Amino acid sequence: MEKNILIIGPARSGKTTLSRKINNKFGYSIINLDDIICSFEEGFPELEIRHDYNDIKVATKFAPFLIRYLKELSEGPNFYNGNKYVIEGVSVDFEKVIPKIDKEKYLIIGLTYNEITSEELYNNVKKFDTEDDWTYYCSDEELRGNVDYFINSNKYFNEKFDEYKIDKYDVSLDRDEVLDEIIDMILDNSKIKIRNLNNKGDDNMILCDFDNNENSTFNPSDVEKRIENFPKIGVSCFSKKLVDRMVEIYNPEEIAQINNGNGKFPVYKIEYKRTEIAFFMSRVGASACTVSYEEVLAMGLEKLIIFGTCGVLKKEIEDLAIIIPTSAVRDEGTSYHYMEASDEIEVNDKYKDLFKELLNEHNYSYVEGKTWTTDAPYRETRDKVLKRKEQGCISVEMECSAMSAVAKFRKKDLFTFFYAADNLDSSSWDKRSLGCSKNLDEKEKIVLLAFELANKINNE
């Protein structure tokens, strides 16, 4: 069974950053204890559970609630249905809380900074602070006073980690590197099981059988030969109507064909503002789409922009709205042949800011968020939709996680975006503009956005 994760440590030790990494890697929901304390402070001031400069005092008053809360998270139906949580915070009363935690259901991680001076910590806080951090709004004088307090608080946490035999990690020298090592530890030592994918023995799932050998029994280069002067950047979509329309407008040269049992799919060379773009239609579905991608890479492509429709899991997202995925739930099989098992994959490592600048230039609004990649559109059940929404997904489609895995495996640049179509966030399915010629003129403009992005990337 998987474990929840409890991250404890002094302020500014990287608890929130680690929680986000765990969320991105494993799909765990994040619970911030500071947020809960703020709710007590505002909603139940008579309980005197509030932030002040005595973390131990706060932790003691907060302990009865926290004990019950952690127990509920590890015994309730959400836990046994596969919903897991990463809980992070400062306000943990070690004496009262730690002995009550079921170690079979929780992995406890301690963060410290023992090899750092007050001045170095001050500089780190300034370096890593964002607008979400309360220290971001402190004056320099206030921040230096807080940092001195953090250093003294760190000594207390160190003692308690040793006393209660909690694994601790020193983030003093290279915080990001240490946090990544913790992620690796979680994977390598199987201290938590990723949806049971890392089980050994009879229960081992076939999707865990990842092989990182880049050579297969036959490779894309055995099927498609490199083409001289093939464009280095490409644009692809899933709509034949849009591909046919662009061919009609640009009258491009056909430079290759993607051949398979379904027929022949032309690859065109379009010149857009002096940028040569390989333009082709991708097939729907993770497996079919990635096969075509592999073959175009073999022809000589280096960078690809791919876009298409998606279903929305938030009814507020309007039809044809631009959606930029930040991560993808891997509810398909193809990606597991290109990277080790995990619930999610980070996507759009590059070009996201460039695309947002482009959208702003052309007065396009957009939404960013997690997407759900599925192999089975007719199994998007109500319970699954609700579960994916709880994970933070705002859209559903069939290719993103797999295409991103291929790009990472082949070390190529890929950028993915969607335009919203059907709505699954209602009592009945709303098809909206999915799979029809409705709003075709607006969809053609979205193709031009992709061409414009390709031109900007090419001229960076």
Asked whether the domain spanning 220-458 has the same topology as the one spanning 4-193, the reply is yes
> For position 196, what pLDDT does the model report?
42
Q: Is the pLDDT of residue 1 over 80?
A: no
Span 15-46, pLDDT tens digits: 999 999 998 888 889 999 989 998 988 888 88
Overall CATH class of domain 220-458 = alpha beta
**Alpha-carbon span 39 to 46, nearest angstrom:** 12
What pLDDT score was predicted for residue 396?
Answer: 97
User: In this structure, what token pair is assigned to residue 335?
Assistant: 């990606």
Q: For the ranges 138-152, 207-221, 364-378, which has the lowest average pLDDT?
A: 138-152
Indicate the CATH number for domain 4-193. Answer: 3.40.50.300
Q: Are 167 and 182 in contact (CB under 8 A)?
A: no
DSSP class of residue 92 equals: -
Res 195: pLDDT: 42
Nearest Cα to Cα of residue 105 among 124, 135, 129, 83: 83
The pTM of the full predicted model, rounded to 2 decimals, is 0.60
- Spatial separation of the C-alpha atoms in residues 119 and 227, rounded to whole Å: 57
**Inter-residue contact 408 to 365 (CB < 8 Å):** no
**pLDDT tens-place string over residues 307-319:** 999 999 999 999 9
SS3 438: coil
- Is the pLDDT at 210 greater than 80, yes or no? yes
Compute the distance between CA of residue 232 and CA of residue 387 in angstroms, rounded to an integer: 40
Q: What is the mean pLDDT of residues 112-120?
A: 85
Mean pLDDT of the 422-446 span: 86
Residue of higher predicted confidence among 173 and 32: 32
pLDDT value at residue 201? 43
DSSP class of residue 134 equals G
Predicted local distance difference test score (pLDDT) of residue 130: 72
pLDDT at 208 over 90: no
The region of weakest confidence among 8-22, 121-135, 221-235, 260-274 is 121-135
Residue 218: predicted pLDDT: 92
Identify the residue whose tokens are 């046919």: 244
Percentage of the residues of the chain whose pLDDT score is greater than 70: 92
- What does each C-alpha distance from 402 to 286, 327, 375 come to in angstroms? 6, 12, 10
pLDDT of residue 403: 97
Residue 192 pLDDT > 70: no
Task: Give me the residue spans of the domains in the chain.
Answer: 4-193, 220-458
For residue 436, pLDDT over 70 is answered with no
Does position 203 have pLDDT exceeding 60, yes or no? no
Of 331, 328, 346, nearest in space to 21 by CA: 346
The pLDDT of 234-240, averaged and rounded, is 96
Over residues 381-427, the pLDDT tens digits come to 988 999 999 889 999 999 999 999 999 999 999 999 999 999 999 88
